[in-house]
Amino acid sequence: MLKLVVTTLIFFTFNSHASDSTHMKNMKKEKSSMTMSSKKEIDAKTKTEILAILEANESLHAAFFKYDGKKVERNAKAVSKKIAALKNEEIKKLLTYGQKTLSKITAKADREENNKNYHLVSMALIHVINTYQLGDKYAAYRCPMVRKKWVQNTKKMAKVHNPYAPEMPHCGSLAH
């Protein structure tokens, strides 16, 4: 009798979990399609310029992930240069604070200070990603342990690459 009860409980628990999993996948799909339709459209030239900024940020993200102060500074300057080249004034205004913050990311600064500044830059980039239709190549991620966010290329990196915490390089998840 006990064996029957345990088997029944396991069966219902498994089926309930499978149903919850399917429900979660469907909710994510719905949210994704709703998100894309609620984002602002932009012209092709501006989209190309923003994607160039995000591509430059990939190198900065990589320099933080395998922390190298000189590469971090060099790539921060490269991202700043791409932002300066942006022609769309509305979007450039959204990135102005981030661009100023990039100048504080230096090889001489300690990692904690650079992490703080990179998080601020990332928040500006995340705002742009969440506001404009740029495709699904880039997404916002967050690490609850260090309470910071970053942008990551989802096409190149399926696994989370936390640029802030070398002791837990794959800690984090998509930020919603």
Please give the angle made by the CA atoms of 101, 66 and 74, to the nearest 5 degrees. 40
Q: Which residue has the tokens 């504080």?
A: 104
Percent of the chain with pLDDT over 90: 76
Inside any domain, residue 74: yes
Beta strands in the chain (DSSP E): 138-143, 148-153, 173-174
Q: Among the ranges 14-23, 27-36, 153-162, which has the highest mean pLDDT value?
A: 153-162
State yes or no: pLDDT of 98 exceeds 80: yes
2 burial level (CB within 10 Å; 0-12, 13-18, 19+)? exposed
User: Does residue 105 fall inside a structural domain?
Assistant: yes
pTM over 0.85: no
Does residue 53 fall inside a structural domain?
yes
* Residue 18 counted as domain residue: no
Residue 157 lies in a domain: yes
Asked whether residue 86 is domain-assigned, the answer is yes
Residue 5 has pLDDT above 80, yes or no: no
Residue 22 banded pLDDT, cuts 50, 70, 90: very low
pLDDT category of residue 32 using cuts at 50, 70 and 90: very low
pLDDT higher than threshold 90 for residue 174: yes
Is residue 4 in a domain?
Answer: no
Number of structural domains the chain divides into: 1
pLDDT over 70 for what percent of the chain?
A: 79
- Please give the mean pLDDT across all residues of the chain: 86
Ranges 29-43, 101-115, 137-151: which has the least confidence? 29-43
- Structural domain range at position 96: 42-174
Give the Cα separation of 147 and 141 in Å (integer): 11
Is 161 part of any domain?
yes
